[in-house]
Amino acid sequence: MPVSLHIRGDGVRADPAVEPAVAAVFTHLRAVGRLFSTYRPDSQISRIRRHVDNAVEQLARPGPYDHYLNAGGDIAAAARPGATAWRVGIEDPRDRTRLLSVRELRGGGLATTGTAARGARIVDPRTGGHPTAIRSVTVSGPRLLWADVYATAAIARSGDVERWIRARAPDYEAFTVLRAS
């Protein structure tokens, strides 16, 4: 999967701790990639998600720099106080060359779940079938792990996603694209 990492801030190029921290992030992600695959039904998805959070923790060590880690569309980011927030585009699942919305991310994570990239893979545990009412759900909040959990659960349960997430996690925000839209 494509992975990009961006770090910004005064003195970031001169700080000797940054390069090893970046190397540690990619070493960690390569190890996770060798052990688990999101395309295998027997993979441990929850462990993968925790490892994306662990990779980001490596970046807290060198110093006060902004970072933006994108692993397959799941994004973990941080911007220092006073720094410009990261701007994240939300793709149209019907036309992935088009953006439907842009979210600012100062910290935490953003995850999108839907059918555009990997097809119908989410199962409604009540019916055993693939939900069809929602094309995609993007959730942002303090932790990438929970943003991803809420986005996936929202697709599976359907209904009023924004209200459902607000009731359970007021620190998280959802953006939904319905099948009919």
Instruction: Note whether 118 and 163 are same-domain residues.
Output: yes
> Distance between CA 65 and CA 18 in Å, rounded?
9
Among 18, 48, 78, residue at a domain's last position = 78
Per-residue burial over 89-114, b = 16 or more CB atoms within 10 Å of its CB, e = otherwise: ebbbbeeeeeebeebebebbbbbbbb
Among 60, 78, 96, residue at a domain's last position = 78
* Angle ∠(128,159,105) on CA atoms, nearest 5: 105
Mean pLDDT of 9-36: 85
Specify the pLDDT at position 115. 72
Q: What is the pTM of this model?
A: 0.70
Residue 9 belongs to domain spanning: 3-78
Instruction: Note whether 72 and 90 are same-domain residues.
Output: no
Instruction: Note whether 73 and 94 are same-domain residues.
Output: no
Instruction: Note whether 123 and 147 are same-domain residues.
Output: yes
Mean pLDDT of 143-171: 89
The contacts of residue 129 (CB under 8 Å, 6+ apart) are 123
Q: Tell me the CATH number at 169.
A: 3.10.520.10
- Asked whether the predicted pLDDT for residue 12 surpasses 70, the reply is yes
> Distance between CA 45 and CA 39 in Å, rounded?
10
Specify the pLDDT at position 2. 78
Q: Which amino acid is at 39?
A: Y
Q: 174 forms bridges with which residues in the sheet?
A: 139
Instruction: Note whether 50 and 124 are same-domain residues.
Output: no
181 — pLDDT class (breaks 50, 70, 90): low
Residues 91-140 have pLDDT tens digits of: 998 888 999 999 999 999 999 987 767 767 777 777 877 877 788 899 99
Specify the pLDDT at position 43. 59
Q: Work out the mean pLDDT of the chain and round it to a whole number.
A: 83
Query: How many domains, the chain?
Result: 2
Specify the pLDDT at position 35. 64
Residues 67-81 have pLDDT tens digits of: 999 988 899 999 999
Specify the pLDDT at position 42. 53
Instruction: Note whether 106 and 60 are same-domain residues.
Output: no
Residues 24-83 have pLDDT tens digits of: 999 888 777 666 555 545 556 555 555 576 666 777 665 678 999 998 889 999 999 999
Instruction: Note whether 166 and 92 are same-domain residues.
Output: yes
Specify the pLDDT at position 175. 93
Helices (H), 7-160: 18-35, 45-57, 144-157
